[in-house]
């Protein structure tokens, strides 16, 4: 009998597994249907020996001291500030749009924030109510820059016109009038020094935690006796798609290793106006690894495949609300993470959400007697000793 079964070994599941094991002294079985831990943040050394991210570039950034501090128990950090160039009008220019972007694209020499702001103001279109991902950009930079940087990329990435997407999507990318060319503005920007997977290994190394991989919840749920469940997979799947499928956007990744030391000037180059892929990532910029070869990932957005992105738009939110209501009525099950709460969350936000859920658990769920915490078994531990496929247990 496990005290807790956790479905999904990404940030949501792993952060909670560690907290429960170390702070409540309870047993946890964490499972994942993939053959590895780390969820979408999983990284590995490829055949050439280059450290790469299997599911596309993951850059850690946060404004929260507490979240950084929490993760710092499991990793050291490498300082890294992310920079992205966009391939527009046959030029490579900084994105987010900043003063340099405008000067290069329009062959101008704007020297101050005020001059850049005046340029943008002269092009911005007034929008009465900013609702969509089109409104948010057009109202700030005007239609021409919107067409160059946002329309094509967003249509590729989401399979929808920006006017069909919530404003929150493109609002993730700021507009600047200075020459700050960093992609993120957060106070903390860094990469786990030895990679994400190593950080997850450290998080999950507690003796109260067992890991089972290649294990889909739907296949093993009746075989694993447990008291409580934390589910971090897609919430509609948990409820057998009772109200219909929640749309998630997928990606196909093409990983390529080249026999050259460096391929591009920055970690990520976006292709908003051309190509079927959205962006090319070169990992050595992120990791700082010295190697005579280099590995790149091309991202091709797709409708079908693993769920990577919840799609923020009102009708999807309405459908999610129906599942959320069901979740609220489901006792002894906690729904946490990007897929289970259908939120377009970054890694730090998922860590914050998981830590908040842990605080709620501490406040509302008493610690029951179990084998691990040295107390006698409770009366309803009838299933202790049920057979597990131990061949798949890692530790
Ligand atoms: P996940 O990492 O998706 O983990 C959920 C796990 O549950 C998965 O491993 C899945 O296999 C498993 N699972 C699901 N259903 C089942 C089931 N039925 N049975 C067993 N296992 C199951 N965030 C940043 O902060 N910075 C970035 O630069 C960044 N870049 C990104 C780039 C891409 C291409 C993508 C897709 C995301 C990026 N993110 C980034 C977001 C980041 O990946 C997520 O915030 C984070 O990984 C979410 O963690 P999670 O635990 O909620 O979900
Ligand atoms: N976006 C865009 N052009 C760009 C960069 C981003 O249109 O060059 C839009 C696009 O819709 C994207 C969203 O802004 O999905 C958020 O960008 P972000 O880089 O945060 O996407 P993620 O890293 O989550 O894929």
pLDDT reported for residue 391:
32
Q: Does residue 371 register a pLDDT over 80? A: no
Ligand nearest to the CA of 141: 2
> Tens digits of per-residue pLDDT, 249-262?
999 999 999 999 99
Q: Does residue 40 register a pLDDT over 60? A: yes
> Tens digits of per-residue pLDDT, 108-158?
999 999 999 999 999 999 999 999 999 999 999 999 999 999 999 999 999
Residue 375 pLDDT grade (very low, low, confident, very high; cuts 50, 70, 90):
low
Question: Mean pLDDT, to the nearest integer, of 70-82?
Answer: 98
Q: How far is the centre of ligand 1, averaged over its atoms, from the C-alpha of 270 (Å)?
A: 21
Does the pTM exceed 0.85?
Answer: yes
Is the Cβ atom of 31 under 6 angstroms away from ligand 1? yes
Give every CB contact of residue 283 below 8 A, 6+ residues apart in sequence.
Answer: 50, 51, 52, 53, 57, 267, 289, 294, 295, 296, 297
Q: How far is the centre of ligand 2, averaged over its atoms, from the C-alpha of 270 (Å)?
A: 9
Q: Which of 14, 35, 58 to mutate to test the pocket of ligand 1 (most atoms within 8 A of CB)?
A: 58
pLDDT > 70: what percent of the chain?
A: 94
Q: Does residue 395 register a pLDDT over 70? A: no
Closest ligand 1 atom, CA of 32?
Answer: 21
**Closest Cα to residue 86, out of 76, 75, 97?**
97
Ligand nearest to the CA of 349: 1
98, 176 in Cβ contact below 8 A?
yes
Query: Which token pair is 284?
Result: 């050595």
Question: Mean pLDDT, to the nearest integer, of 238-265?
Answer: 98
pLDDT reported for residue 370:
82
Q: Does residue 380 register a pLDDT over 50? A: no
Question: Mean pLDDT, to the nearest integer, of 208-235?
Answer: 97
336, 16 in Cβ contact below 8 A?
yes
Going through 121-270 in order, the beta strands assigned E by DSSP cover 188-192, 209-212, 226-231, 248-258, 268-270
> Tens digits of per-residue pLDDT, 306-333?
999 999 999 999 999 999 999 999 999 9
Question: Mean pLDDT, to the nearest integer, of 91-116?
Answer: 98
- The reply to whether omega before 96 is within 30° of 0 (cis) is yes
pLDDT reported for residue 372:
81
Q: Does residue 191 register a pLDDT over 90? A: yes
């Amino acid at each position: 009998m496990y005290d807790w079964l956790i479905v999904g070994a990404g940030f949501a599941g792993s952060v909670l597994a560690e907290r429960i094991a170390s702070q409540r002294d309870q047993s946890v079985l964490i499972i994942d249907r993939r053959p590895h831990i780390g969820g979408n943040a999983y990284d590995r050394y490829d055949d050439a020996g280059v450290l790469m991210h299997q599911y596309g570039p993951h850059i850690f950034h946060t404004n929260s001291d507490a979240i950084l501090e929490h993760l710092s128990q499991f990793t050291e950090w490498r300082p890294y500030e992310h920079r992205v160039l966009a391939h527009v009008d046959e030029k490579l220019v900084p994105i987010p749009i900043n003063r340099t972007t405008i000067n290069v694209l329009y062959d101008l020499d704007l020297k101050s924030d005020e001059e850049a702001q005046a340029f943008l103001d002269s092009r911005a279109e007034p929008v009465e109510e900013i609702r969509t991902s089109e409104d948010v950009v057009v109202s700030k930079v005007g239609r021409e820059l919107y067409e160059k940087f946002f329309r094509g990329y967003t249509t590729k990435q989401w399979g929808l016109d920006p006017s069909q997407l919530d404003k929150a999507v493109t609002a993730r990318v700021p507009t600047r009038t200075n020459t700050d060319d960093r992609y993120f503005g957060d106070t903390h920007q860094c990469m786990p020094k030895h990679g994400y997977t190593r950080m997850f290994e450290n998080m999950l190394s507690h003796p109260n935690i067992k890991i089972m991989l290649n294990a889909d919840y739907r296949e093993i749920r009746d075989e694993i006796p447990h008291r409580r469940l934390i589910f971090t997979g897609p919430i509609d799947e948990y409820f057998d798609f009772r109200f219909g499928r929640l749309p998630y956007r997928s990606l196909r990744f093409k990983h390529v290793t080249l026999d050259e030391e460096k391929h591009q000037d920055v970690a990520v180059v976006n292709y908003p106006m051309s190509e079927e892929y959205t962006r090319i990532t070169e990992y050595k910029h992120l990791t700082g690894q010295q190697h005579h070869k280099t590995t790149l990932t091309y991202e091709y957005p797709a409708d079908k495949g693993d769920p990577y992105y919840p799609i923020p738009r009102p009708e999807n939110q309405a459908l999610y609300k129906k599942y959320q209501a069901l979740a609220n009525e489901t006792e002894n099950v906690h729904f946490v993470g990007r897929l289970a709460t259908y939120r377009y969350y970054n890694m730090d936000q998922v860590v914050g959400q998981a830590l908040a859920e842990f605080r709620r658990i501490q406040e509302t769920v008493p610690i029951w007697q179990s084998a691990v915490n040295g107390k006698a078994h409770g009366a309803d531990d009838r299933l202790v000793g049920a057979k597990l496929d131990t061949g798949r247990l890692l530790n």
